[in-house]
Structure 1
């Protein structure tokens, strides 16, 4: 498709449900790359519909804009990505999602004991974090990040 046949930002907003300001923000972040026509209006490729949809979905899964930008760099410019193009990034995307799912499952399974703590190196948690052992492993919610509590065996 020739660049002169691009679509307007209003068309993208209507089709994606995004605000025009959001599309401009994604442009500023380097996630879509419009050009200006002779009248100075932004023009986008039709394939930007899929890119913007991907951005919206990836954000719902918790990906940051820098992460999304790296995924989009793997897609071809100037044309609508094919199924093969999407498949090329799906393996890494899936691994990332699997890690997030595992973390969420740990949180869910330990929610009753850790809702207020998450083993953020709190010394007062005698059940899950006696003597603040989690604090020796580093900062953050150590057990939700994959560290295992050491179980002392008195027997």
Structure 2
């Protein structure tokens, strides 16, 4: 499947083999998907949804305004610039890291070898310095 966005109208999900329309989604601002394309996080103006595409089931609805979403086997991790939160697929928070005051989270990535998350913290009051922090799967 491929995702095609339009400047006007809905996002259209098409079958890349034959070009047929699989689904259209209105009001979309951003879409994040896992590598297999089995789960996708849809950011809409009125709400955010995590959708299991294998059965088109909405797993989670909330207004969290993600800047990035990373998927794991049993969880997904959301960066909002102000916090990093790990949710299960029912929408319950597993752990959360709150950004220090006057800082923002610029980047989130997974260090698979160390089994930790790396974040880049930026001091938004002074414009620097930049720090790299590690967060384990308990949020510490």
State the TM bucket, normalised to the shorter chain. Answer: 0.3 to 0.5
- What's the TM-score once normalised by structure 1's chain length? 0.30
Larger radius of gyration: 1
- What's the TM-score once normalised by structure 2's chain length? 0.33
Greater helix share, 1 or 2?
1
The higher-RCO structure (CA 8 Å, 6+ apart) is 1
